[in-house]
Amino acid sequence: MTLVRRPVAVLVGPMGSGKSTIGSALAARCGVGFTDTDHEIEERSGRRIPEIFAVDGEGVFRRLEAEVVAEVVTTHDGVVSLGGGAVMTQAVRDALAGHVVVYLQIGSDTGFARVASSDRPLLADPDPAARYAELLALREPTYRDVSTIVVDAGRPPRVVVDEIVERLPCRAETSDEVVPNPARSEQE
């Protein structure tokens, strides 16, 4: 029988919400490993994400992303961070079912300010701030739908990590299965 490992938490949210920063800090705090699926995709493909988008297109990238996410959420028992658009793919949403998913919620002005000088393929637009706001508005309902915990990520990372740790459901002492959280924990 193969033991399915489950992440302590899977972080979702828009670019600039702090998934990598919060994820690595949360993993350190919990004493577990950290995996960023964007980094995993780059490692496996040998190319940076902007290159994959430019050469192969978003569709190819999303298929690769779905494969990586499906594998990682069944093999990694630490903290996992997903790319900002990952949850828009049905296969990724299906893979997240039953996991503790933390939505790092952030306003469009704050999120865009954090990524304005980066080379994000989806922000290659005459008005990148408006494009960011548009993507956030489109994705926000899906982030909420897949999440079990929602936190305000516009605060210092230490404060965000403290809140997540307080709200994580308990882990069973004798197995890799997560004890379900009896109620959705959301901060409006």
Q: Is residue 140 part of a domain?
A: yes
Count of structural domains, the chain:
1
Q: How far apart, in whole angstroms, are the C-alpha atoms of residue 112 and residue 79?
A: 24
Q: Tell me whether residue 180 is in a domain.
A: no
Q: What is the pLDDT along the chain (188 residues), one digit of tens a residue?
A: 555 678 999 999 999 999 999 999 999 999 999 999 999 999 999 999 989 989 999 999 999 999 999 999 999 999 999 999 999 999 999 999 999 999 999 999 999 999 888 878 777 788 999 999 999 999 999 999 999 999 999 999 999 999 999 998 754 332 344 333 333 333 33
The DSSP letter of residue 7 is: -
- Residue 133, domain member (yes or no): yes
**Residue 135 lies in domain:** 9-168
Which CATH number fits the domain that encloses residue 79? 3.40.50.300
> Which three-class secondary structure state does DSSP give residue 186?
strand
Specify the pTM. 0.85
| C-alpha to C-alpha distance for 121 and 96, rounded to whole angstroms | 25
Secondary structure (DSSP) of 29-90: HHT--EEEHHHHHHHHHTS-HHHHHHHH-HHHHHHHHHHHHHHHHHH--SEEE--TTGGGSH
